[in-house]
Amino acid sequence: MRVIAGTAKGRALKAVPGTNTRPTTDKVKEAIFSMIGPYFDGGWALDLFAGTGGLGIEALSRGADRAVFVDLERMSIDVIKQNVQAAGLADRSEIYRNEAGRAIKALAKRGTPFRLVFLDPPYRMKEMDSLMTELAQSGLLEPDASIVIEHDGAHQYPEEIQAFHQLKHAQYGDTAVTIYEYVPDADLEASLEEL
């Protein structure tokens, strides 16, 4: 695993020991960033099931201002700390050990919205649509924010989830990537246009 592009290009990233964490392969990571980027003009990124921190680190390397990494596993937190250090991005990173729902509540109190959100949970978790809704209701998303879900290829997420519109869906073996754009008040705008 390595950083693919940007200021930290080529830096090696450590994997979390054991089999509980499934890091995003370089091939899938490259595909994700060609779909949503490939480079960013600032903004904050949230890596909510961070694992190794690879997705958030890639976003920082490609121009995001700051990234918040959240994971529940202590080993993952240790690896993320080592990886942001190795990539030279520790000064633009915040790392928290927390459960996703509780992390959203804590982040909501700060009121800083994210332009980019990565949801790469263990594949048995299939309720990312409700987490996206929670992020929106908590005021944690910029208008037009991109939400990237990496999930089990056998699971399908709907094309529309309230104010989220699916932009892309791609399959890589057992892994699928579904990307949404957050368009707040889309329902309101649509109903106004009909008048």
For residue 179, the model assigns a pLDDT of 96
Q: Helix H segments across the chain? A: 26-36, 54-61, 74-86, 100-110, 128-137, 186-194
For residue 184, the model assigns a pLDDT of 85
* Tens-digit pLDDT profile for residues 8-47: 999 999 998 876 667 778 888 999 999 998 899 999 999 9
Low-confidence ranges of the chain (pLDDT < 50): 188-189, 191-192
For residue 194, the model assigns a pLDDT of 53
For residue 192, the model assigns a pLDDT of 46
Which residues have C-beta within 8 Å of that of residue 98, sequence separation ≥ 6?
A: 70, 72, 106
- All structural domains of the chain: 26-194 (3.40.50.150)
Q: How far apart, in whole angstroms, are the C-alpha atoms of residue 89 and residue 72?
A: 21
Amino acid at 141: L
Q: How far apart, in whole angstroms, are the C-alpha atoms of residue 68 and residue 94?
A: 5
For residue 1, the model assigns a pLDDT of 86
